Amino acid sequence: DTGVSQDPRHKITKRGQNVTFRCDPISEHNRLYWYRQTLGQGPEFLTYFQNEAQLEKSRLLSDRFSAERPKGSFSTLEIQRTEQGDSAMYLCASSLEPGTGGEKLFFGSGTQLSVL
Amino acid sequence: DQQVKQNSPSLSVQEGRISILNCDYTNSMFDYFLWYKKYPAEGPTFLISISSIKDKNEDGRFTVFLNKSAKHLSLHIVPSQPGDSAVYFCAASVWGNQFYFGTGTSLTVIP
């Protein structure tokens, strides 16, 4: 069990650029979540997948954000035309399915995005 | 719409004493509650959880209490140690679908 892995750990970009983050979940976990966290706040839900299917997406999520999990393993989160308000820690988490031990999330170390 | 609330942004406790962190929620459908611990520049780490069918769960120095009628849970750490200094997040879910987090309480344990 190597844990949840996120890449990169840090990303600095200029406003208007596109960025993409990658998450590798724990191998046997079929659920994968993306959260965003800003200073002084708790993790805010963005979207989650069960296998390759995106089951839910936050209605607060701008159309500039898109996430994929094409083969039900790793996932990518892309932000297009970044804005300074996108600066945050982007957290990925994975879990088993509910009822099979999926009652808790295992988080990666996050990607810290800074938009200049 | 903050469904999980932690009203104390910070807490300071002497080493060896009890730390009590509180959390309130509004959604009566929540059936699973969790506490996470977070150090700077790291992701949250699972600490302890409780199902809505229980009112107490204990794991070593950590105990979580759930009061469903008051929609309130608390985390007790006894005895508190300097290594416990971190930000603690309360979270809740409905059958493991979409987890909602509070804003966190920063705990400082003073040696």
Q: What does the pLDDT read at residue A17?
A: 97
User: Which sign, positive or negative, has the C-alpha torsion A2, A9, A62, B101?
Assistant: positive
Single-letter amino acid code for the residue at B34: L
Is A110–B103 a contact, with Cβ atoms under 8 angstroms apart?
A: no
Q: What does the pLDDT read at residue A2?
A: 75
Is B43–A40 a contact, with Cβ atoms under 8 angstroms apart?
A: no
pLDDT tens digits along A38-77: 988 999 999 999 999 999 898 878 899 999 999 889 999 9
* Cβ atoms B25, B5 nearer than 8 A: yes
* Cβ atoms A107, A55 nearer than 8 A: no
Here the tokens at position A105 are 């999330």
Whole-angstrom Cα distance, residue A73 to residue A50? 10
Taking contacts as CB-CB distances below 8 angstroms, the residues of chain A near B97 are: 56, 98
Taking CA–CA distances from B46, the nearest residue in chain A reads A106
Here the tokens at position A59 are 């209605």
Nearest to A40 by CA among B83, B25, B87: B87
Taking contacts as CB-CB distances below 8 angstroms, the residues of chain A near B93 are: 103
How far does B36 lie from chain A, in Å, by closest CA? Answer: 10
Interface of chain A toward chain B, CB-CB under 8 angstroms: 4, 6, 33, 35, 40-45, 48, 56, 91, 93, 95, 97-99, 102-110, 112
Whole-angstrom Cα distance, residue B58 to residue B72? 17
Is A105–B46 a contact, with Cβ atoms under 8 angstroms apart?
A: yes
Is A43–B44 a contact, with Cβ atoms under 8 angstroms apart?
A: yes
Q: What is the DSSP string of A51-64?
A: TTEEEEE-TT--TT
How far does B14 lie from chain A, in Å, by closest CA? Answer: 24
Nearest to A96 by CA among A41, A33, A22, A11: A33
Interface of B with A in 68-87 (CB under 8 A): none
Q: Where are the alpha helices (DSSP H) in chain A?
A: none
Is A4–B43 a contact, with Cβ atoms under 8 angstroms apart?
A: yes
Optimal mutation site among B59, B88, B98, B100, interface A, most CBs of chain A within 10 A: B98
Residue identified by tokens 């769960």 is B57
Q: Is the pLDDT of residue A1 over 70?
A: no
Q: Is the pLDDT of residue A99 over 90?
A: no
Q: Which helix (H) or strand (E) holds B64?
A: strand B62-67
* Cβ atoms A64, A72 nearer than 8 A: no
Q: What is the DSSP string of B11-44?
A: EEEETTS-EEEEEEE--TT--EEEEEEE-TTS--
The DSSP output letter for A10 is E
Nearest to B49 by CA among B94, B1, B92: B92
| Average pLDDT for A13-25 | 97
- Tens-level pLDDT at each residue, chain B (111 residues): 689 999 999 999 999 999 999 999 999 999 999 999 999 888 999 999 999 999 999 999 999 999 999 999 999 999 999 999 999 999 999 887 789 999 999 999 999
Here the tokens at position B83 are 């290594």
